[in-house]
Structure 1
Amino acid sequence: MERLIDLGNGFWNLRGDLRLFGLLNVGTQASLVRLRSGRFVALDSCAMDMPTRDRVMALTDGGAAVEAILNLHPFHTLHCATMAQMFPQARLYGSRRHWRKWPDLPWQDQPVESADLAARLAGELDFSLPEGIDYICADQRVHAGSLLAFHPASGTVHVDDTLNVLPLPEWLRRTMGLPRLTFHPTLLRALQDRPGAADDFRRWARGIGADWAETRTVCAAHSGILHLGPQSLADAVEAALARVEPGLNRT
């Protein structure tokens, strides 16, 4: 299995292992983005086997070219220390939950979802925080909220949990009537307890479909990589919304 996947134009997706109860491998991910300066930003943290680590180090001048690590999902915390040790010179960003889970790591003062960080990387990466749902849910089992990143140069969306790519064979998906792109199964439990939350989420979802219309690839954490082909991101999001519409209507 290829672990470091070159998606072109300065974007590499790293597929990692995450085993539930030590048995079922549901997978996880990180990505490397080469900036116009030639330096790199890492999206999320992920453990690597030695061949993959060697490739990453060769790509990034022994790790010295990685200037920042952006931990985007507040519940993806297992490998924060591993990545911080691999790239000790990199500025380390995370959500407030990352700060609480790893208080001894050298976190930047600004959280990863801050507008200032987004402005600093404007033109290189676009970020979007879902509306209508909690980014850090009080229920520790609800992981639908995450900060999404879009790399315009490669047309790649990097997303943890909010959007899922079902890793099912085409024949099985067609038989069961399943789309490739879905929302996280805890989405409805993540909705904020206020009027209009479902409408805000719909508007946000359709907004990324429109704003990121040049998307060609979606990299999802626990499932896989979706190459959209002739389908647009807007079409894929609309199909995913249709599947959760009954639940959104009940809220």
Structure 2
Amino acid sequence: MAHAMIDLGQGFWNIRGAFRIGGLIDVGTHCSLLQLDTDRFIFLDSYELSGEVREQVMALTRQGQAVEAILNLHPFHTLHCEAMARDFPQATLYGSARHQQQLPQLPWSPDRIESDAVAARYPELEFSITQGIEYISAKPGVHAGSLLAYHPASKSLHVDDTFAAPPQGGLLEKFLPEIFISPATRWALKPEASAAAIYCDWVTHLANQWQDTQNFCAAHSDLVQFKAGEFKPALLAALERARPKLLSN
């Protein structure tokens, strides 16, 4: 996927990048840049910037000096953390316990990314951590758990792996729904009888709470843009498609 920086308005940019599986198949990845009410900036997730996108970011952020924090939302997205810490050394680095375990050499904040303390520092955003499934699964390759961030001003939802979308303009777009629940969710369920029901209730709550979403920024897929009123039924439909497998576990 081509590197691109997409202006979604109200001080929110989604940066699309490349992530190749086995060095061959590019499933894409992303990060987002948010201008705070203080005119400083934060990143949602890490991505090694290069080329024109890097020039755009540096021009916006006074050569990076206006970036105050990097919020690494997904426990398993660690590949680009070192590059971001190098490019923005003055920025506070937030992450999960897994980030700190995988990259102990980086200057992580003692406040975990999913903590109330971090959420309170950024009232421009609303956060929600996955419920009913493990945030950090011990099962190999199960990355459905994450911390989601919603920016009401731009109606932009930044999500990694938990929900996905097919790449735009390709064959998969013709055969897959516009958004879908991560297939790994059923294996991420907590070992509790009520886990699937808790997860389904959480997704339903998000569909209502963030029903104004118009910019769906997903990691390993694409940016999907909805018209007013379209996001809620799309997410609820995705849940209904996934519900039988979740409840059969």
Q: TM-score, normalised by structure 2?
A: 0.95
The percentage of counterpart residues that share the same residue type is: 48
Deviation at 1:21, TM superposition (A): 1.1
Q: 5+ unaligned residues in a row in structure 2: which ranges?
A: none
For residues 141 and 170 of structure 1, the distance between their equivalents in structure 2, rounded to whole angstroms, comes to 25
The separation in 2 between residues aligned to 1:6 and 1:244, in whole angstroms, is: 32
Partners in 2 of 1:152 and 1:116 — Cα distance? 20
SS of equivalent residue, structure 1 residue 8 = coil
Q: 1:242: how far off?
A: 1.3
Q: CA deviation at 1:237?
A: 1.2
Q: Is the 8 A contact 1:179 1:239 kept in 2?
A: no
Cα offset, 1:50, TM superposition: 2.0
**SS of corresponding position for 2:63:** coil
Q: 1:111 to 1:3 in 2, by over 3 A?
A: same
Preserved CA contact (<8 Å) 1:44 1:73: yes
SS at match of 1:14: strand
- Would you identify which runs of 4 or more consecutive aligned residues in structure 1 move more than 3 Å? 168-174
In the alignment, the residues of structure 1 paired with residue 183 and residue 49 of structure 2 have an alpha-carbon distance, to the nearest angstrom, of 27
- Rate the CA distance shift 1:77–1:170 in 2: closer, same or farther, 3 A: closer
Counterpart of 2:34 in structure 1 is: 33
* Counterpart for residue 206 of structure 1: 204
Question: Does the 8 A contact of 2:167 with 2:173 survive in 1?
Answer: no
CA, structure 1 residues 166+20, in 2 after alignment: closer, same or farther (shift >3 Å)?
Answer: same
> Partners in 2 of 1:230 and 1:121 — Cα distance?
25
Structure 1 residue 229: deviation in Å?
Answer: 1.8
Match of 2:51 in 1: 50
Q: How many residues get paired?
A: 248
> Counterpart amino acid of 1:238?
L
1:1-251 mapped onto 2 (5 Å cutoff): 1=2, 3-122=4-123, 124-167=124-167, 169=169, 176=175, 178-251=176-249
For structure 1, list consecutive stretches of 5 or more residues without a partner in the other structure.
Answer: none
Deviations along 1:34-74, whole A, 9 cap, x unmatched? Answer: 01110001000012222211111001110011100000000
Change in 2 beyond 3 A, CA 1:8/1:93: same
Local SS of the residue matching 1:42 = strand
State the one-letter code of the partner of 2:128. Answer: S
Q: Secondary structure at the match of 2:8?
A: strand
Kept in 1, the 8 Å contact 2:129–2:146? The answer is yes
Alpha-carbon shift at residue 76 of structure 1 (Å) = 0.4
Q: Distance in 2 between the 1:21 and 1:205 partners?
A: 32
| CA positional deviation for 1:249 | 2.1
> 1:159 Cα shift?
0.3
Q: Is residue 74–residue 95 contact of structure 1 (8 Å, CA) maintained in 2?
A: yes
Answer yes or no: is the 8 Å Cα contact 2:64–2:88 preserved in 1.
yes
Cα pair distance change 1:87/1:170, threshold 3 Å: closer
Give the AA of the match of 1:48: L
Give the superposition deviation at 1:170: 8.9
Q: Is the 8 A contact 1:113 1:147 kept in 2?
A: yes
Q: CA RMSD in A?
A: 1.5
Residues in 1 aligned to 2:199 and 2:86: alpha-carbon distance in whole angstroms: 37
Give 3-state SS (helix, strand or coil) of 1:219's partner: strand
Asked whether the 8 Å contact 2:94–2:112 carries over to 1, the reply is: yes
What is the CA–CA distance in structure 2 between the aligned matches of 1:13 and 1:234, rounded to whole Å?
A: 21
Deviation per CA, 1:195-249, whole angstroms, max 9, x where unpaired?
1101110111011111112211100001000101255322111111111121122
State TM-score, norm by structure 1: 0.95
| Separation (CA, whole Å) in 1 of partners of 2:237 and 2:219 | 20
Q: Rate the CA distance shift 1:172–1:140 in 2: closer, same or farther, 3 A.
A: closer
